[in-house]
Amino acid sequence: MCSEAKTQKTVNRKGRGIRILKWGSIAAACLILLLFFGIPLFLSSSGGTGFLLKQINSSVDGQVQMDDFSMGWFKGIKLTGLSYADSAGNTSVRVRRIETRPKYTSLLGGKVKLGRTVIDQPRIYLKAPAEQDIAEEAKTSSAKLDTPPPVFPVNQIDLELINGSATVELTGDMPQKVLFTNIASTVQIADVGKPSSVDISMDVDDTSKISAKGTVTPSKKGWTLEDGDFNVQISKLQLASLKPLFALAGQEMDISGELNSDITVKVDNNAVALEADAAITDFSQGVGDQRVVFEEPVTIKATITGVGKNIEIKTAKIRSQFCNLDCSGTLESMDYAIDADLARLQPIVEQFTDMPPEVSVSGMLSARGRVEMTDGQMRLVSENSKIQQLKISVPDSEPFIQDQVTLDADVRMDMGEKTIDIRSLNLQGSRGETLINVTKGVVKKKVSNAQTQLSGQFEVEYDWQVLSAFASAYLPEGLSVKGKRKSDIHFESAYPTDSPEQMMANLNADGSLGFDSASYFGMNFGPTELKANVQKGVLDLQIPQTTVNEGTLQFSGHIDLTAESRFLRLTEPMLILDKIHLNDTMTELLLLYTNPLFVDASETSGIASFSCAELAIPLSAEDQAQTMIRGRFQIDSLRMRAGDFMGQLLTLLQTRDTVTMTVHPTDFVLADNFLSYEDMQVDIDDNPLNFKGRIGLDKTLSMTVRLPWTTDLHSVKTGRSSQERVTVPIEGSLDHPKIDTTKFLEEQGKELIEQEIMKQLDRLFK
């Protein structure tokens, strides 16, 4: 009985398990069927579409909308009236219809196969930033450069795009649009080992057409290509219409011209051959006075082949009316040849560099060399590059002219270590003489999370005539330097990596410069050696005593390179110029601003000295109003032929035109664009004149002069005590100063009448 009961219980348990398994299977099947039919029904309903839009809009910057969404396991996915607009109003997209029939089972294998897909009438609108915002947009985009490029997630698709269009608008004071219309494409991405194809065409602003068509077959063995061909054609593309696209990419470019291009790529057993042929007619670059127009077409031809990672540039040629470029070789070693007319090329170079517009360069360049790239290291080699009939000129300066100069250079750069190593850089003249020769030039930059270390060392031989010609725009106007020297320069700085602005504050450097002769503002310097030393961003300049105009000059000053506004300041009070001989150039450029006596003077001679107690000369033109000099100067044995103003004084003094004068030691201050002093005594022979007031650097005058007569018209001679003397104002400007003699006589007549009345009153009341 017990065994039968146990057997019955076992049978009951098995039956119950079978029933549970049966009903569980039925429930699971029902659940699967519910999901199978329910998900499409739910997503296709208004509630499901709303849920889907809510999830999308919560993760994007803007608003996505659609008129209808439907999904079926067999009929695929269909969207109508899809639109998107970002919150800033710069981007909007509208699509009339999207249909696709994905293969859902491929998802189980980790692949996306969309099958037949149609995008009908997409309309894209993009607003590019105004020019003043381009730099900021570029900064934002540059921050994303480290992000790995997106991978196209579709493994198979048969795509057709119908009647698309795109508009890119450039905002700002001069808005501009570029329209891409009639965009049509078919893209077929097949499984590995089968041919894939693409066919795209579009119109640009209704005047030009762009088309791209090709097929390619990836190998089953990996990412290699078995065969294929690809062709891109551009017809009558107006480059000026692309300005909004350049702005969208963060580049401001003013170019125009018509581009026609044909590019063909052929693949045969993983070997790729590319041929490109392009021509730009009526090409121009820049605006206004900086606009450069190419009267002849610019042509580009290139033939490139490659197998795997090995790429060879058979030929690459650019031809224009004043610049030709030829390249050939591999990515590891490429030879180049450049022939250019420098005078006609200069306007283009100015638009991409900081080359000052007042510098004029002409000559015919013929450059030959090689570029090598290996494991992050670059080597630039220039071999026997030449410039024929070189001329560098700046207004009001002697031009630098050479029948021929040659350049040989070997420069190496390590991108990883951030170093530049100039093994040699030798610029020679037509007779083989050294013009500039860098025998050593090394710059190193080591960067860590905490600190950046920058260091460099240069050994340079140079001819000042050449160096000053190349750097003339950065030297003081009128400075002429001659002589040959060799200089060693060393610098280093260690600063926090996250605070690059502290580089200058931590700069230490030393070096020297010298020359055989120089002229500036009528001062002719003899051999001079200038020593420079930088400690913690403060530059110390020392000029030991040297000859200037048969006298001497010495100077000791410093410049705080860390300051926002930089000034050359005197280290301590000192005698800067001692007993230098004057000339007409110094009179016209310097002495003119000390006293109207020097206006239109000529045949000047004399011996001058200048001591300075305080000096601050700004290095930037924007800070010129902050120039400040406090010092003393004097002139002995001054002789000159009088100008108009001095002629007026000589007429009053009843003396000859050419006289001997003495300017007594005079304390003066130059500040706020005015030179002022309380008393400058000038002896004309033995007649003392005392000037007081100020002279503006804009040639305005506010001065008086005490004449060598007492108020009762008795003459006063130098060295003799006198009573109160006659004082008259100097009117006009520094261009036309004058003494109003009529007013002077009126004032003196009144003075004499008053004095006579006082005498008569004294007699009456005695």
Q: What is the pLDDT of residues 185-220, one digit of tens each?
A: 887 777 766 777 888 888 888 788 888 888 877 766
What are the structure tokens assigned to 506, written together? 């931590």
Provide the Cα torsion 348, 354, 357, 362; round to 10°. -60
Indicate the number of domains in the chain.
3
Q: Is 579 exposed, middle or buried (0-12, 13-18, 19+ CB in 10 A)?
A: middle
Residue 363 falls inside a structural domain: no
Domain boundary among 486, 520, 554: 520
Same domain, 516 and 624: no
What are the structure tokens assigned to 718, written together? 């130098």
The predicted pLDDT at position 140 comes to: 46
Rounded distance between C-alpha atoms, residue 156 and residue 115, angstroms: 7
Same domain, 351 and 384: no
- Host domain of residue 278: 269-355
Asked whether the beta carbons of 682 and 597 are under 8 A apart, the reply is yes
Same domain, 396 and 499: yes
Going through 171-309 in order, the beta strands assigned E by DSSP cover: 176-189, 196-204, 208-218, 225-238, 255-268, 271-285, 292-293, 298-307
Rounded distance between C-alpha atoms, residue 333 and residue 242, angstroms: 34
Domain boundary among 520, 552, 572: 520
Same domain, 516 and 609: no
Identify the residue whose tokens are 């700069």: 507
List phi, psi (to 5°) of 3.
-65, -35
Residue 479 falls inside a structural domain: yes
Residue 553 falls inside a structural domain: yes
The predicted pLDDT at position 143 comes to: 42
Same domain, 351 and 441: no
Rounded distance between C-alpha atoms, residue 236 and residue 206, angstroms: 10
The predicted pLDDT at position 241 comes to: 81
The predicted pLDDT at position 42 comes to: 59
Residue 100 falls inside a structural domain: no
Same domain, 638 and 697: yes
Same domain, 443 and 502: yes
Report DSSP letters for 411-469, one per residue.
Answer: EEEETTTTEEEEEEEEEE-TTS-EEEEEEEEEEEEEE-SSEEEEEEEEEEEEEHHHHHH
Comparing C-alpha atoms, which of 128, 41, 142, 137 is closest to residue 91? 128
Going through 597-657 in order, the beta strands assigned E by DSSP cover: 602-618, 628-641
Rounded distance between C-alpha atoms, residue 605 and residue 583, angstroms: 6
Report DSSP letters for 198-234, one per residue.
Answer: EEEEEEETTTEEEEEEEEEEE-TTSS-EEEEEEEEEE
Rounded distance between C-alpha atoms, residue 760 and residue 766, angstroms: 10
The predicted pLDDT at position 433 comes to: 84
Going through 464-573 in order, the beta strands assigned E by DSSP cover: 480-482, 484-496, 507-515, 517-520, 523-525, 528-535, 538-548, 551-560, 567-570
Same domain, 514 and 563: no
Asked whether the beta carbons of 710 and 748 are under 8 A apart, the reply is no
Residue 706 falls inside a structural domain: yes
The predicted pLDDT at position 288 comes to: 62
Residue 223 falls inside a structural domain: no
Rounded distance between C-alpha atoms, residue 307 and residue 688, angstroms: 94
Same domain, 510 and 609: no
Same domain, 408 and 322: no
Residue 201 falls inside a structural domain: no
The model carries a pTM of 0.66
Count other Cβ atoms within 10 Å, centred on residue 500: 11
Same domain, 351 and 399: no
* 130 SS3 class: coil
Rounded distance between C-alpha atoms, residue 707 and residue 654, angstroms: 13
Q: Is 757 exposed, middle or buried (0-12, 13-18, 19+ CB in 10 A)?
A: exposed
The predicted pLDDT at position 268 comes to: 82
What are the structure tokens assigned to 74, written together? 């067999």
Domain boundary among 520, 554, 571: 520
Rounded distance between C-alpha atoms, residue 643 and residue 597, angstroms: 8
Rounded distance between C-alpha atoms, residue 589 and residue 416, angstroms: 53
The predicted pLDDT at position 272 comes to: 87
Residues of the chain with pLDDT under 70: 1-45, 73-74, 104-113, 128-155, 157, 173-174, 192-193, 219-226, 248-253, 287-290, 351-354, 473-474, 656-658, 713, 721-723, 740-766
Comparing C-alpha atoms, which of 283, 300, 301 is closest to residue 292? 283
Same domain, 642 and 727: yes
* 318 SS3 class: strand
Residue 587 falls inside a structural domain: yes
